[in-house]
Amino acid sequence: MKILVIASTGNVGRQIVTRLHAAGHAVRALAHRSTAVFPAEVEVTYGDLSVPDTVAACLDGVDAVFLLWPLHTGDRLPAVLDAIAHQARRVVFLGTGGVPDLSFEEQEKLIHGCGIESTVLKPSTFAVNTLWWAGQIRSGDIVQGAYGALPMSLIHEADMAAVAVHALTEPGHDGATHTLTGPEVLTQAEQVRVIGEVLGRPLRWEELTREQARRRLLADETFPDSFVEVLLDGYAAMLAGPPPTLTATVQELTGTPPRSLRQWVIDHAADFA
C-alpha cells in the first residue's frame, strides 16, 4: 500500500510514519514546513490543510490516508475530505477536541460520510499535553493551574499510532469509531505527582482560579491564544461531567496494553530537563 500521513511531523504522525516504513509500506509524509526529516525511503511532500488544493496535489497514487486536524477551525475539513475521497480508498481520522466550531460528533459524521472506507479514532487526553507544564517544572517544584481535581485518562502517542497503523493497513475497521484511553485515571494534581516521582523531584500542584490560569496561559508565548478559552471551557465541562471510562481497545487491536503516564514520562524525561 501507499499511505499518505498528514501532520506527519507531529507526535502521533511521526510515529505512524516510522511504523509504516518499518513494516515495508510505501509512505508519503505530508509536512507543513521543509524542515521535516525522515528516512530516505519516505517520500516527503509539502502542503497546508488550510489550502485544500495543496493536499489534493499530494494524493496521486495513494491508497490510504491518515488525517489529524491540527487547525483550530474545521471550515476546511470538508474540502480536504473531498480531495481525499477523490483519490484514496481509505481514511483513518484522529479526532480532536481542539476545534471549537466542529464537535467530535460532527467530525465523526463528516468522516464516515465521506464516501470511502473510514475509521475514526476517539482518543482520551494526550499524555504529551503535560509538556505544557515543562517550563514551570524547569523553574521549580510547583505547577500552577486550574481544575487540579479534573480526572483524565492520558494516552501515549505510541498507542494511538499503533492503532492507526492497524486501521490503515488491515481490513475490518470500515465504519468503526475506536475509543482509545490509557490504562488509568489521574487528576491533574496526581499527574504532577507522577511526573515528579519519575524525575526524582518533589513536584506538587498549586490551584489557580480560572482567571489566574487564563492570564498565565495568555502570557505563555508557546501556547496559542486562540486555544486558551477552548481549553478552559473544555476542562470545566469535563469536570462537571462523569469521570472517564477506560476502554480495552488499545489492547484488543494491538495485542499490547496501553502505556501508563509513568512510562510516557520515562520516554520523555529529557523534555522536562
For residue 46, give the CATH number of its domain.
3.40.50.720
Are 79 and 130 within one domain?
A: no
Q: Which of 100, 104, 82, 84 is nearest to 92 (CA)?
A: 84
How far apart CA 54 and CA 207 sit, in angstroms, is 44
Q: How far is CA 97 from CA 94, 103, 223, 234, in A?
A: 10, 7, 16, 8
Residue 226 pLDDT grade (very low, low, confident, very high; cuts 50, 70, 90): confident
pLDDT at position 37 = 85
Classified as helix, coil or strand, 236 is helix
φ, ψ at 45 (rounded to 5°): -135, 165
Answer yes or no: is pLDDT of 245 > 80. yes
Residue 240 pLDDT grade (very low, low, confident, very high; cuts 50, 70, 90): very high
Whether 227 is covered by a domain: the verdict is yes
Q: Which of 115, 65, 113, 68 is nearest to 90 (CA)?
A: 65
Whether 208 is covered by a domain: the verdict is yes
How far apart CA 269 and CA 77 sit, in angstroms, is 35
Whether 22 is covered by a domain: the verdict is yes
Are 100 and 137 within one domain?
A: no
How far apart CA 4 and CA 7 sit, in angstroms, is 10
How many domains does one find in the chain? 2
Degrees to nearest 5, angle at CA 12 with 27 and 163: 80
Whether 11 is covered by a domain: the verdict is yes
Are 23 and 138 within one domain?
A: no
Answer yes or no: is pLDDT of 19 > 80. yes
How far apart CA 251 and CA 245 sit, in angstroms, is 15
Whether 42 is covered by a domain: the verdict is yes
Whether 200 is covered by a domain: the verdict is yes
Are 33 and 105 within one domain?
A: yes
pLDDT at position 213 = 96
pLDDT at position 266 = 98
Are 132 and 239 within one domain?
A: yes
Domain span holding position 190: 125-155+182-244+259-273
Contact at 8 Å (CB) between 124 and 210? Answer: no
Are 96 and 226 within one domain?
A: no
Are 11 and 31 within one domain?
A: yes
Q: For residue 226, count CB atoms less than 10 angstroms from its CB and return exposed for 0-12, middle for 13-18, buried for 19 or more.
A: exposed
Are 104 and 203 within one domain?
A: no
Are 138 and 239 within one domain?
A: yes
pLDDT at position 28 = 97
Are 116 and 135 within one domain?
A: no
Mean pLDDT, all residues of the chain: 95
